[in-house]
Amino acid sequence: MRPTQSEPKKDPDQDSSQGLLPKPKKFPTSKFKPRPWKRRRRPSKSKRRRPSPIKPGDIIDYRNISLIGRFISQQGKILPRRVKRVTLKQQRDLTLSIKQARILSSLPYHATDKLFEIKRELTARKKRTKGFRKRNKK
């Protein structure tokens, strides 16, 4: 809306009170000092070190299937370091030995037998209905 000659020109401070323009911030230049930010202290978590899943006497080798089997998921995938909490060198050795064991067919490439057994148990528990299903009509 344009101001006409009959209407007086509005002051910008009056417009800001109506919400049309943002109010200008006025800081005294000589006295203004920013407040320092206070950092909140987070409660400290207990830094309990978990024992390594690989003992010092364990040998990471393709023949040690009982050790290698702990680092494979049910689908047959190699679990990442952050899941099993092993060092970088141990993870590299595990990966190499798992791949060697797969080539020698000591370990499966895909799913293990445990996965199939679990699925069989779940399907056996479900009750099979005989005949057609009846719908509840409202």
Kindly list the structural domains of the chain, giving each domain's residue range(s) and its CATH number in brackets, ordered by start: 65-115 (4.10.640.10)
pTM: 0.49
How many CB atoms neighbour CB 17 within 10 A? 10
Q: How far is CA 58 from CA 18, 54, 88, in A?
A: 76, 6, 16
The per-residue pLDDT for range 71-130, each reduced to its tens digit, is: 988 788 899 999 989 999 999 999 999 999 999 988 888 765 655 565 566 566 655 555
pLDDT given for residue 86 in this prediction: 93
CA distance 68 to 97: 8
The per-residue pLDDT for range 5-14, each reduced to its tens digit, is: 665 565 555 5
**Do the Cβ atoms of 108 and 102 come closer than 8 Å?**
yes
